[in-house]
Amino acid sequence: MREIVLDTETTGLDPLRGDRLVEIGCVEMVNRMATGQTYHVYLNPERDMPQEAFAVHGLSSEFLADKPLFAAVAEEFLAFIGDAPLVIHNAMFDIGFINAELDRIKRLAIPRERLVDTLTLARRKHPGVSNRLDDLCSRYAIDNSRRTKHGALLDAELLAEVYIDLIGARQSSLILSETRISFSAGQADTPRRQRETPLAPRLSAAEIAAHDAFIATLGGTPIWNEFSPKES
């Protein structure tokens, strides 16, 4: 199963009041494992960058001035996500901005049915505590030391790891691995039982003689001599 873990950065909190996308980061997962395929783009929001938003992600108006407009990258973005489910932390926030950009270029909105909201999953699994991405990284011992500021691709990569823990996929694989190791160790520690009376050889006398004749042509002391049936 193919899934896309997605994150965005914006100029603010409300696309209906003129806030715009400035960054999109996506990580592809197949069967709950990251494939190494990613999509990442910075976007020119065609407006100023409020100081509050700059403090969060560090993307200035000057840095974004020569970046493409969403309309220029929409096709490659839509091609990358395809029809896969979208795994997003606080999904309605990000999809609200993406759909606002799609509406500006007269493209169909992404339906809610495609969304997997990891914030909702985290609240169900860990009720009554903070479930921000940093909190979940700490809870699941995921290294987020590079996350000095928000960044769409880095956050999507971290979220992909968090998602595996949230749905128990990593735990299931560990339990399976431990079970296999325990079973193998048990086999090694159990002494093999020996028959009181060894089974008689199933080879005929002619077959044994033919084999011995062949071994004799090899010269030296071939290892097969140690396993050659002995006459009782």
- HEC string for the chain: CEEEEEEEEECCCCHHHCCCEEEEEEEEEECCEEEEEEEEEECCCCCCCCHHHHHHHCCCHHHHCCCCCHHHHHHHHHHHHCCCCEEECCHHHHHHHHHHHHHHCCCCCCCHHHEEEHHHHHHHHCCCCCCCHHHHHHHCCCCCCCCCCCCHHHHHHHHHHHHHHHCCHHHHHHHHHHHHHHHHHHHHHCCCCCCCCCCCCCCCHHHHHHHHHHHHCCCCCCHHHHHCCCCC
**Tell me: the pLDDT tens digits for 159-190?**
999 999 999 987 555 544 444 444 344 444 44
What residue segments make up the domains of the chain, in order of their start? 2-171
- Which of 145, 136, 124, 144 has the alpha carbon at shortest distance from 165? 136
Predicted local distance difference test score (pLDDT) of residue 206: 82
Specify the pLDDT at position 189. 45
pTM comes to 0.73
Q: Give the mean model confidence (pLDDT) for residues 83-101.
A: 98
Lowest-confidence range among 92-106, 130-144, 197-211? 197-211
pLDDT digits (tens, 9 = 90+) for 213-229: 777 777 767 666 666 65
Q: Is 150 a catalytic residue?
A: yes
pLDDT at residue 46, rounded to an integer: 97
The predicted-structure confidence for 49-60, as pLDDT tens digits, reads as follows 999 999 999 999
Of the residues 40, 89, 126, 150, only one is catalytic, namely: 150
Q: What is the mean pLDDT of the chain?
A: 87
Which one, of 26, 139, 136, lies nearest residue 88 by Cα?
26
Q: Does the 2-171 domain belong in CATH 3.30.420.10?
A: yes
